[in-house]
Chains A and B, each alone.
Chain A
Amino acid sequence: MMFFDKILLLLLIVCAIAAAFTKRTLTAVVIFMSYSLIMAVLWVLLESPDLAITEAAVGAGITGILFFTTLRKVDELGGDDNGRRK
């Protein structure tokens, strides 16, 4: 249990670098949502449950949804034409 938080911190750094260096914007947003989730787990390990609930609801939920709708508006969702029609 002692180095569980060190592993999580290392994973955070990996996520952040990966989000900065991917080519497609969609993968960057998904990696950012997982980054937010790992951060919520870290808050629990730092004994602040208020921050964990708020970060999980707001960071991974609301910010992710806003990013996805913006990507749709600027036509960068990618994928084939099947996803566009409906």
Chain B
Amino acid sequence: MVLFGIGFTTLLLQKNMIKKVIGINIMDTAIYLFLAAKGYIEGGIAPIVVDGITTMEHYINPIPSGLVLTGIVVSVSVSAFSLALIQRLYKEYGTLDFDEVVYQLRNKEGD
């Protein structure tokens, strides 16, 4: 949760756009850590069946694991797409600073 706060603040208040993308990633992985920790049962091992034991008390909960697996892949897709956007923005406006881009946009609309 602390990690979520750090990631969110990085996303919001860093002017450099690449650091914003790093902030998004930190926020995502913090949430996955939280979800996977919800599925952990003390004394359980990984959900791969050994020796034919299929009782519930032997393993951890497998459901959050599936959810997080999807989440990791979605996170990398979002990062790749936003990095492509950053490349195009750089070509268009010549700067990586988010405030500069807004400033130029506003000036362009005014003229």
Contact = CB atoms under 8 A, between A and B. Distances in A.
A66 B77 CA distance: 11
Contacts of A48: 36, 39, 46, 60, 65, 68
Given A20-B23, A51-B65, A74-B86, A67 B18 contact: yes
Contacts of B48: 49
B68 A32 contact: no
Interface residues of A, number: 34
B104 interface: no
A34 interface: no
A35 B86 CA distance: 23
A47 B46 contact: yes
A47 B3 contact: no
A42 B87 contact: no
A57 B77 CA distance: 14
Interface string B70-111: 001100100110010011001000001000000000000000
Chain B at the A interface: SS class: helix
A67 B18 CA distance: 8
Most buried by B among A13, A16, A28, A54: A16
A73 B76 contact: no
Interface of B: 2-3, 6-7, 9-10, 14, 16, 18-19, 21-23, 25-26, 29, 32-33, 36-37, 39-40, 44-46, 48, 60, 65, 68-69, 72-73, 76, 79-80, 83, 86-87, 90, 96
10 contacts: A16-B3, A16-B6, A20-B6, A25-B18, A32-B25, A47-B40, A47-B44, A49-B46, A54-B69, A74-B86
Given A36-B29, A63-B76, A67-B21, 6 more contacts: A25-B16, A48-B68, A58-B76, A70-B18, A73-B90, A76-B96
